[in-house]
């Protein structure tokens, strides 16, 4: 975690607390050493942030301290809230935690009027249908996409036939309840889509692949758009 991000998180954790919080507890929450917290607190104090307390006792932020408010409209805030809740409900755990953390940072520095609106959003994104197996697979696939690593998957198609495929994963598309892996299939030598809930298991291979103008997620999307336009025309 970068220092600037950690300092912002420290202020977020201290805001609104009535009782002092120890450096040890802050270190546990941010997964750093106590010494790092001491240095960060000192840096914040020197920059003008009104933090009171001392090592071994705890720290508290002056209740009157205010960060500059974020200039969100009601619609912008609602869009952020809905988007964050969708990620929390339907993405893998790492992304869900990231969305939750980002939402905490945003709401911590909102003006009171917008903060109240954020607490009474009319949109509910249920997570009743979270599939833990799919969530684990989603994380592994996402990592492979990021690192340009091949995947070996065992896949069950709509006819219940099982096959093994070596694929170059290019992206994940969410179709409102179902995630689909967009990949370049080494067997078919072409783009293929694989529903995540039909992947029996997958293995990340050490082999790397490269994308280019004729093999990428953007190229796939352009091809799909051209096909759909031709179909509707």
Q: Which residue has the higher pLDDT, 118 or 186?
A: 186
Q: Is 227 helix (H, G, I), strand (E, B) or coil?
A: helix
Could you tell me which CATH number the domain at 132-232 has? Answer: 2.30.30
Strands (E), 22-123: 51-54, 58-61
Res. 232: pLDDT tops 50: no
Burial of 41 (0-12, 13-18, 19+ CB in 10 A): buried
- Predicted confidence (pLDDT) per residue in 120-153, tens digit: 777 777 776 677 778 889 999 999 999 999 999 9
Topology of the domain comprising 3-61:
Arc Repressor Mutant, subunit A (1.10.10)
Domains of the chain, residue spans: 3-61, 74-119, 132-232
Print burial letters for 181-203: b (CB count within 10 Å at least 16), e (below 16): bbbbebeeeebbebbbebbeebe
Res. 227: pLDDT tops 90: no
Res. 70: pLDDT tops 60: no
Res. 66: pLDDT tops 80: no
Radius of gyration of the chain (CA): 23
Report the distance separating Cα 169 and Cα 199, nearest Å: 13
């Amino acid at each position: 975690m970068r220092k600037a991000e950690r300092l912002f998180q420290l202020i977020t954790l201290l805001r609104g607390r009535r009782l002092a919080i120890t450096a040890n507890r802050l270190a546990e929450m941010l997964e750093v050493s106590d010494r790092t917290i001491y240095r960060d607190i000192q840096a914040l104090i020197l920059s003008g942030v009104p933090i009171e307390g001392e090592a071994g006792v705890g720290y508290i932020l002056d209740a009157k301290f205010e960060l500059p408010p974020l200039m969100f409209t009601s619609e912008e805030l609602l869009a952020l809230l809905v988007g964050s809740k969708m990620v929390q409900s339907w993405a893998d755990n790492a992304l869900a935690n990231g969305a939750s953390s980002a939402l905490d940072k945003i709401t911590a520095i909102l003006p009171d009027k917008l903060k109240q609106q954020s607490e009474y959003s009319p949109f509910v994104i249920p997570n009743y249908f979270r599939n833990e197996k799919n969530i684990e697979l989603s994380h592994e696939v996402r990592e492979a996409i990021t690192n340009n690593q091949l995947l070996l998957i065992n896949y069950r198609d709509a006819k219940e036939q099982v096959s093994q495929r070596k694929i170059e994963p290019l992206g994940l598309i969410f179709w409102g309840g179902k995630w689909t892996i967009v990949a370049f299939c080494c067997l078919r030598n072409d783009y293929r889509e694989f529903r995540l809930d039909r992947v029996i298991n997958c293995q990340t291979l050490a082999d790397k692949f490269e994308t280019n103008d004729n093999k990428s997620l953007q190229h796939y999307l352009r091809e799909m758009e051209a096909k759909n336009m031709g179909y509707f025309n």
